[in-house]
Structure 1
Amino acid sequence: MKEIFLEFDLFGSQIILRWFQVMAASGFLAALFLLKKRAKIYGQDPDKIETTLFYSMIGAIIGARALFVVRYWDENFANRPFSKIFAFQEGGLVFQGGLIGGLIIAYFICKRNKINFLTALDIAAPCIALAHAFGRIGCFLNGCCFGGRCSVDAIAVQYPKGSFPWTDHLKRGFIEPQAELSAAVHPAPLYSVFALVGVCLLLCYLSKKLAKPGMIFGLYFCVYSLWRIIVEFFRDDQDLTAGLSLAQYIAIGTFLLGCVIIVLCRRNRELDFPQLEKE
């Protein structure tokens, strides 16, 4: 498990390609492929949906970075140059912030292109989960978002010297400076990979059973939020309030929001069921 995927010199400049960048790009391409397929099933213009995804990704990156900066200001940004806020190459994104940012941009793009916003969300929901799964693979390889300490040898992982977990464990006295590996931790990002792939498959399967606009996205909010609440207990967030992390409180909010979306969409008779085509 290494942070760097590829490193080389190009015209005198050192180019560093990191694992999370590779997996983020892979996730975007996988999501784009699925998005186009689902757009056709829902009778939507794939090009317009692709445009919406592109601009939503920009909003997602901004939102994800903004929440990371706010959440980890004291640890990573206080008393450091302001430019560090924009040092994306060093990593530091929070998915929930990205989801919020992406949704805001998606709303305005859908309105501009006269696309039903709820239908667009239903098309995108499994794609978001799929892209997120790739991102968590990047987290695992990069060493960020690492889990809490684990005593089960069959599933525990250790990260090499100099990695995020190793540095954190050294500061907290879990390991000695001469240690070559971090303490054993839960592979929390991998837990999320399997869960997110499952969410993607579930939403694709239910797309024709819960066809009323908005219900698939509401279900995505509910299912993912429940998982996020659970997986946070396997992570190592030290900043807890009443025993829960900030991510868990946000997840509780998004779960309730998902429930509200499902109920309102189900009761609103003005929302027509789209005629889904066969794959």
Structure 2
Amino acid sequence: MLPNINIFGKDVATYMLCVLAGVFVSGIYVCRTAKKRGHDDNDYIVFLLIAAIGVFFGGHIMYGITQIRAFIEVVTHLSKYITSFTTFIGMVSYIFGGSVFYGGLLGGMLICVIYAKIKKLDLTEYSDICAGFVPLFHFFGRIGCFLGGCCYGIESSFGFITKDNTLNPSINGVVRFPVQLLEAALNLGLFFLLAYLLRKNKLKGGLFALYLLIYSVIRFFDEFLRGDSYRGFLFGLSTSQIISILLFVGAVVYFVCYFRRHKNTAKL
């Protein structure tokens, strides 16, 4: 684990550095791709900034949903937990302070659809070009998770021994499966697939749905390799697994309709 890097005498979180690197590299990919396809890259920068708003709020709201038991406990005993404005802010930070990837993804998707409708944008082209942004950014994010120790794998005979994890001290000294690195590698492979299909002009209008289809499968199965349980469980499945099932079904329905509409013209 390497949660912080000392830069000019100050400790900087490696997770944030990875996130910034992900935004930079993924943003460059989208802008270069948009220009090659004859679009104004500034329009795509604005589109991504709009998406970032949805990602921010969606990620925190979804985290709050996973903390529903704590939320109910606070609401039920307000006088016990909230004795001042400071404790109120602290409690809100505790319940909504984290972020869940799927929440950010859904929030970003929602606000982008609304923005595209308002601005009358060609959402087909925008979604195809931006589809690769998500797994490429996620690749860097999962590297940051591995270094920061904010999530971790199950105990395993193969993997890495966790040390100096201040976020989850109880997992120190235990060999953990590197699930973050596995998901990072799979996200990178998914990015290259989407970039290839876009370059070949295949599956036009379906690349983002393809991302959802494939990633939902990846996430569903790699959840079994994660060792943390605080994300919330229902029917023996984690919150992310339930969302994965819903996204997978939605993507399948989308492609059934897609191929019916394009049965004579769809490029595979």
Is the contact made by 2:128 and 2:204 (CA closer than 8 Å) also made in structure 1? no
Note the 1:1-279 alignment, pairs <5 A. 1-6=1-6, 17-74=12-69, 79=81, 81-84=87-90, 92-152=98-158, 156-167=159-170, 169=171, 181-207=172-198, 208-213=200-205, 215-238=206-229, 239-268=232-261
Residues 32, 84 of structure 1: alpha-carbon distance in 2 compared, 3 angstrom cutoff? farther
Q: Does the aligned pair in 1 maintain the 2:135–2:190 contact within 8 Å?
A: yes
Which secondary structure state, in structure 2, belongs to the residue aligned with residue 151 of structure 1?
A: strand
What residue identity is the alignment partner of 1:59?
G
1:51 and 1:166 map into 2 onto residues whose CA distance is 41
Q: CA deviation at 1:162?
A: 4.4
Q: What residue number does 2:78 align with?
A: none
| Paired residues of 1:60 and 1:99 also in contact (CA < 8 A) | yes
State the distance in 2 between where 1:40 and 1:195 align.
27
Counterpart contact for 1:166–1:183, Cα < 8 Å: no
Question: How far apart are the structure 1 equivalents of 2:116 and 2:266?
Answer: 18
Deviation at 1:49, TM superposition (A): 1.1
Structure 1 residues 188 and 108, CA, compared in 2 at 3 Å: closer, same or farther? Answer: same
3-state SS of 1:157 partner = strand
Structure 2: runs of 5 or more not aligned: 75-80
| Per-residue deviation, 1:237 | 4.0
Partner of 1:164: helix, strand, or coil?
coil
Unaligned runs of 5+ in 1: 10-14, 170-180, 275-279
- Alpha-carbon RMSD: 2.8
Amino acid at match of 2:118: R
- The change in CA–CA distance for 1:148 and 1:75 in structure 2 (over 3 A counts) is farther
User: Quick one: distance in 2 between partners of 1:62 and 1:8?
Assistant: 32
Measure how far apart 1:75 and its partner are.
6.2
- Report the Cα offset of residue 117 of structure 1: 1.4
TM-score with structure 1 setting the length: 0.80
- The answer as to whether partners of 1:166 and 1:182 remain within 8 angstroms in 2 is no
Aligned CA distance change for structure 1 residues 94 and 54 (closer, same or farther; 3 Å): same
| Comparing 156-165 and 219-228, the one that deviates more | 156-165
Q: Tell me, what secondary structure is at the counterpart of 1:226?
A: helix
Matched residue pairs, number? 250
Q: Which has the higher helix share?
A: 2
Deviations 1:70-95 (A, max 9, x none): 2135469954734247759x972111
Identity across aligned pairs (percent)? Answer: 28
Query: What are the superposed Cα offsets for residues 98-140 of structure 1, whole Å, 9 maximum, x if unpaired?
Result: 0011112212222333321122111111111100110111111
- Name the stretch that deviates more: 29-38 or 191-200: 29-38
Find the aligned partners of 1:160 and 1:145 in 2 and give their Cα distance. Answer: 13
2:143 partner amino acid: I
Deviates more, 1:49-58 or 1:76-85: 76-85
Taking structure 1 as reference, are residues 86 and 128 closer, same or farther at Cα in structure 2, changes over 3 Å only? farther
